[in-house]
Structures are given as structure tokens and as C-alpha cells.
Chains A and B, each alone.
Chain A
Amino acid sequence: MVEPGLIRAAQSGDRDALITLLREIETHVYRTAYYIVNNEQDAMDAAQEALIRIYTKIGSYEEKAQFKTWVQRIVTNICIDKFRRSKPTVSIDEHEMVFQEKQNVEDEVLSTYIAKDIREAIDKLPEHHRAVVVLRYLQDFSYNEIADSLDLPLNTVKSYLFRARQQLQTLLHDYQKGGVRG
């Protein structure tokens, strides 16, 4: 959590304060970038670009918004706009009715998913769904904070998050079936 005093100092032209502030947020910025672009090098590039943008635009931040959502808005925009890849993502609607499938309960082993599988699955989500998941789980944002960061209506945030989780659950379930039990 960045101190409001530090933000105000940075906004009033205190360059040292601004640099300190950037140092405080760089890990958060990087983490979001890392999980959205799913690649260390692109994440470094995106995060650096975000920090430079924050540096140049600090004057345009208004206190009525939370600083952390303002920051996350910048980094998610950069990740989505600049590092958009052409690789296909799964259509989220295909799996909407997954819940209706008869789950095979008796021989289901609930084992721990490995982080790599989860990252791969997140990477398959459409961009905004991915961003919602990242903000919810890596930045610990509330629905409202996510809505502010991504400039989406609250209901859209919920629906993206819910669908994304269902989607992830399905993908990981498939991995498990394919990987563990052959």
C-alpha cells in the first residue's frame, strides 16, 4: 500500500518521491504483467513501459480513484494492447454449460494442480478474463477494484471471473485426466 503522502509529493514534482513510489509498486506491476503475458521477457518489457508511463503521467492521477487501481489499469492496458498475441484462446462460451456435465465422482481424485498447469490454463483464457483472474488472485482486488482497474461494469467483472474459474476448472480437470491417469 503506497502512502498517500508519497503520492502527493510525487505529484507535486518531488522526483525522489516519484522514484521511491515506482520502487514500491514495481513488483506489483511486474506480477500482473507476468501472469497476463505469461512470459518473463515480455513481462519485463511491459512492466518497464508501465512504470515509465506512470512516471510521466503521475500528474494526471486523481485521488478519487485508488492509486493501486490506477496503476493496475495502466499495466493491464499495456499488456492487453501491446502484447496481444495472435495465438488462439478458447472460447469462453463453449464451456458455459460445463456444470451440467455429469461429473464422475467416485473415481475422481482431487490432487493438487501444479502451478505450471494453472499458468498454462490462465494463458488460454481470453484477455479480459485473464486480467480479471490476475487482479483477483495476484493483486487480491475486490470486484469493485477490478471494475475500476479494467473500466468494466461490476456485473461484467463478476461474470468474467465466474466464467474464467469454470473454464480453468475444466481445463485443469482435463489436464489431470490426460496427465495423471493417461
Chain B
Amino acid sequence: MTCQEVMDYMQRQLDGDLDERETEILMSHLKDCPDCAEMQKRLSLLSSELENLPKVAPPYSLVDAIMPRLEQIELQRQEPEESVLPRRKTPDRSGRSWFQRYRALSGVIAAGLVAGIFMLTYNPQNLPTASENSNAAGNAAGVADSSLQSNSIASDTNQAQNGEQQETMASDEPTKNFNTDAAEQGAGVESAETGASAPATEPQARSFKGDSNQESLSKKQVTRVTASSPDGAASNSSGGHEQNSKAEKDGNGSHSPSYSGQIGGSKDEASNRNSQEAPDMGFVPPENVDADIFSDQKALAGIAQVQQAVSPDSRYSAVVTDQSVSIYSTDSNELLFRGGEREGVISNLLWSDDNLTLGYDVKDSHGNVSHYVIHVKDGTEAKQ
């Protein structure tokens, strides 16, 4: 028996995997071979040290730590089964308190967003600074967006009265003390949308790596949008557009020089503007931040180069990165498909209702728009 074969026996002995006969063979070899005997001593020392490694425990209960997220998952699961009305009558208390926390947070984030926008717009020539800011603001936009989404659901739950939803929104929360005008009005507008019809805002600027609670919440929202009006959900600009018109109708957009006026022309125009201008950071100074909070987020999202669309069944998430569209599993975050790189601006990510295909538009520097379709199952991508 060679020393290398004995090594195998030694190893197996450490795991209690030797029978009597093998043990005997090993022992008799070790008696005659000091090198192997030495090695065996070392290995068994190592093995016992490994067995004695500290049995570490988490410093605090992990289950307690994830409880809010688990409740969130439950809420999300219940949603498709329950109609909106019963849910209003029986709000989940714990879920609600969670929302309220994020409602307060959304105000803070929106304030940061406003500050970020002003920094951006007042230093248009200072590129390095501007790009730094844009990153920060882009991230903030993602979070703010999903928190506003939370707001909309929270108010959805809270609202018993259907009539003047915006007033409800503006008056029923103690947490609004933290909110800036922008956040309140932005949230108010959003809640009005939610209450009145399907939410029209496609959360384009979503924090990509964000907290999965927020993300899953937003996903749910998108799912609903897609189910009721695939058109609206897909067109990234329609949210801003409808949002703005709604805001103006409701008298919410009270500041006169309105960005929304420029963006509100047509859906396509709006989306092209956003996607084209964003990388150049040359977007129009939004004086009326309140009514335009969503449009601004989209512009910022363009800078941050994060566009995302979740499939109607929430299983897939399409993200625009580096001039191509990637599809991830929302469960495992596994990359399922990565599309080819496109020369131009990618926009209008749109899932089919059957979750099988994702379409998107690419606008090149000459303004020509091509449409591409990704088949998720086959992992193919074709120009149409």
C-alpha cells in the first residue's frame, strides 16, 4: 500500500468511514511509516480543531429582523385574492404601520430629491459635480419612487371615503409633518390615481439593488397596472403624462412654470425627451417640482441608466444596463437572458400579458425607432 493510498484511509478515518479491516491496514502502515504517522497526527489535530470551532449564533434574532419583510410578502400574496374594498375595511395593522414608516421616509427622500435636482440644474456646465449628484439623486429617485408606491397602497388601505381622496391624504397622517410639499403632493397625486383608476405610473426609476420589500411592493403595483392597462404600464412616459394632467386638473400643480407642460404633449414625445436628454444631463430645469416629481424621477433614472419592468406574473424583471436589456428571475436574481447591445436609447419596456415576451424600443441618433422582442423561454431576441 502506497503512502498516497494510506492518505485516503487517514482522511476517511477522520470521518468515521473506515471499517475494521481498513483500520487495521492503516494502523499497520502508520507503525512503519513515520511520515504518514506524522501526517495523521496533524490531520487529526486539524480535524478536532475544526470540530471545536465556535458554534456562532446570530447577535440578534434573524426572524425578528425579517418579520416586516415577511408581513410584506403576506400582504402581497393576499392582494390578488382580495378585492380593493374589503381590504379597505380591514386594514392589516402591522402592515399599515410599516407603510406609515415608509410614508415618512418618502418625504425625507423627496426632499433630498428636490435638493438634488436643484444642484443639478444650477450647475449644468459643471459635469463632474453634476454626474456625482446625478448618481445620488438617481438612487434617491429609486427609493423615493418605491416609497411613494407604498404610500399609494397605504392610502388605499386607509381611505374609507372615496370622494376627496387628496384631502384624505393630506389630512389623515401625523407623519406628514416630515413631508415636504413635494412629497405630500406627489403622494397625494399618486393616491388619487390609485383610488380612482389603475395607477398609471410605471415606476421606471426603481432602486435596482434596493430593499426587496420595497421592490416587491412596486412589482405588485406594476403587475396591477399591466393587468388593467398594458398600454399604460409599458409606456414609461404615460405615467408622467397622466400624472401631470391629473395634477393640473385637481389643482395640485399650483406652481405655474410647469415642466409638465412641456412633457405633456404626447406620450412618445415625453419618453423620447426623457431618455434622450437624460444621459446628457441637459434636462429642463424643473421649477415645478411638486407636480413633476415622477417625470423628474424618470429623467434622473435616465441618467442613472436604470430602467426596469417586471413581468405581469412578477416572475421576471427586465433591466436596461449598458445599452442592452437583461432579464432576471425576481426570485433568485439569476440572470436569465442578456440581450444584444443596442446603439441608441432603449425605452418602452413592455411585457406581454402572457409573460412570455418583452418588447422594447431603441431610438438611434437619427431618431429612427426599432422595436425588439425578447422571448424569455427560448432566450432569443429579434428585431421586428
Contact = CB atoms under 8 A, between A and B. Distances in A.
Binding partners A and B: yes
Interface of A: 15, 19, 22-23, 26-27, 29-31, 34-35, 40, 43-44, 47-48, 51-53, 55-56, 81-82, 99-100, 102-103, 105, 108, 110, 112-113, 115, 118-119, 133, 136-138, 142-143, 158, 161-162, 165-166, 168-169, 172-173
B25 interface: no
Contact of B15 (A48, A51, A100, A161): A161
B66 interface: yes
B296 to A, nearest CB: 32
B57 A30 contact: yes
A138 B8 CA distance: 22
Interface string B39-54: 1011101110111111
Interface string B70-94: 1001100000000000000000000
Given A35-B53, A35-B56, 14 more contacts: A30-B62, A40-B59, A44-B62, A51-B62, A82-B333, A99-B4, A118-B53, A119-B53, A136-B50, A142-B15, A143-B17, A158-B12, A166-B7, A169-B46
A168 B11 CA distance: 13
A26 to B, nearest CB: 5
Given A26-B58, A51-B66, A165 B41 contact: no
A157 to B, nearest CB: 10
Nearest to A113: B49
B63 interface: yes
Given A35-B53, A162-B8, A165-B11, A52 B58 contact: no
A115 B53 contact: yes
B35 A103 contact: yes
Contacts of B45: 110, 112-113
Contacts of A19: 63, 70
B63 A137 contact: no
Contact of B38 (A26, A56, A108, A112): A108
A106 to B, nearest CB: 10
B55 interface: yes
Nearest to B67: A19
Nearest to B58: A30
B39 A103 contact: yes
Contact of A27 (B12, B39, B57, B212): B57
Given A34-B56, A118-B50, A99 B65 contact: no
A43 B56 CA distance: 11
In the complex, the 5 A-B pairs of residues with the closest C-beta atoms, listed nearest first: A137-B50, A162-B11, A30-B58, A26-B62, A22-B63
B314 to A, nearest CB: 12
Contacts of A31: 55-57
B324 to A, nearest CB: 22
A161 B13 CA distance: 13
B61 interface: yes
B267 interface: no
B14 interface: yes
A105 B38 contact: yes
A158 B8 CA distance: 10
22 contacts: A27-B57, A48-B66, A52-B70, A53-B331, A55-B66, A55-B73, A100-B3, A103-B39, A110-B45, A112-B49, A113-B45, A115-B53, A118-B49, A142-B15, A158-B11, A158-B12, A161-B11, A168-B46, A169-B39, A169-B42, A172-B46, A173-B42
A165 B49 CA distance: 11
Interface in B130-168: none
B73 A56 contact: yes
B302 to A, nearest CB: 28
B73 A52 contact: yes
A128 B101 CA distance: 41
B69 interface: yes
B34 interface: yes
Given A51-B62, A51-B63, A143-B15, A99 B55 contact: no
B57 A137 contact: no
Contact of A165 (B43, B56, B66): B43
